[in-house]
């Protein structure tokens, strides 16, 4: 096994573990800052004092979180002021291997589709079943070799 393949598997393992850990975790409707603050029984002004800011800043941060306009630095500071730890992650929907396989099939279908056009012009078109088998074979090759252009738009 090559070093590149080992590194790829390690990255995939990290992403897959995150997917399992965060399965079912969704952002609360009111956002994490407001939800945790309320769960602690902490008021906005109390959190503001802990941060050394005005209470309007807490309201701004809570609104900014809901619109995606908050910075990671602000989330970190808010979490620490509430005695919490801020964690962020990009979590795959499902297993990484499944995402790669789906992309490989998509790329393989595109390649087979292009070849089909040329073969049809030469009256050498394959049957649908042969096309499907070729797509699966090519997708398997793409998964094994993981070419740099796997995620390039066709």
72 within domain boundaries: yes
pTM recorded for the entire structure: 0.76
Angle ∠(110,128,134) on CA atoms, nearest 5: 55
Greater pLDDT, 142 or 130: 142
Rounded mean pLDDT of 3-30? 92
What's the confidence (pLDDT) of residue 122?
Answer: 54
136 within domain boundaries: yes
Q: Tally the domains of the chain.
A: 2
133 within domain boundaries: yes
8 within domain boundaries: no
Domain of 136, in residue numbers = 96-145
Last residue of a domain, one of 81, 106, 125: 81
What percent of the chain has a predicted confidence (pLDDT) above 70? 93
126-140 confidence digits (pLDDT tens): 677 888 898 999 999
Rounded mean pLDDT of 47-51? 97
Q: What is the 3-state secondary structure (H, E, C) of the chain?
A: CCHHHHHHHHHHHHHHHHHHHCCCCCCCCCCHHHHHHHHCCCCHHHHHHHHCCCHHHHHHHHHHHHHCCCCHHHHHHHHHHCCCCCCCCCCCCCCHHHHHHHHHHHHHHHHHHHHHHHHHHCCCCCCHHHHHHHHHHHHHHHHHHCCCCCCCCC
User: Is 77 in the same domain as 114?
Assistant: no
150 within domain boundaries: no
68-125 confidence digits (pLDDT tens): 999 999 999 999 999 999 999 999 988 999 999 999 999 999 888 887 765 555 556 6
User: Is 71 in the same domain as 39?
Assistant: yes
User: Is 100 in the same domain as 128?
Assistant: yes
């Amino acid at each position: 096994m090559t070093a590149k393949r080992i590194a790829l598997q390690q990255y995939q393992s990290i992403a897959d573990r995150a997917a399992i850990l965060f399965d079912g975790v969704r952002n609360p409707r009111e956002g994490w800052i407001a939800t945790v603050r309320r769960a602690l029984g902490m008021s906005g002004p109390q959190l503001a004092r802990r941060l050394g800011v005005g209470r309007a800043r807490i309201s701004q941060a809570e609104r900014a979180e809901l619109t995606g306009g908050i910075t990671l630095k602000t989330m970190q500071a808010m979490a620490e002021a509430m005695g919490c730890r801020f964690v962020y992650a990009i979590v795959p929907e499902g297993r990484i291997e499944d995402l790669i396989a789906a992309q490989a099939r998509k790329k393989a279908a595109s390649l087979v589709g292009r070849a089909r056009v040329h073969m049809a012009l030469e009256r050498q078109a394959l049957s649908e079943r042969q096309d499907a088998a070729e797509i699966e074979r090519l997708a398997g090759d793409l998964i094994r070799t993981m070419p740099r252009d796997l995620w390039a738009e066709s």
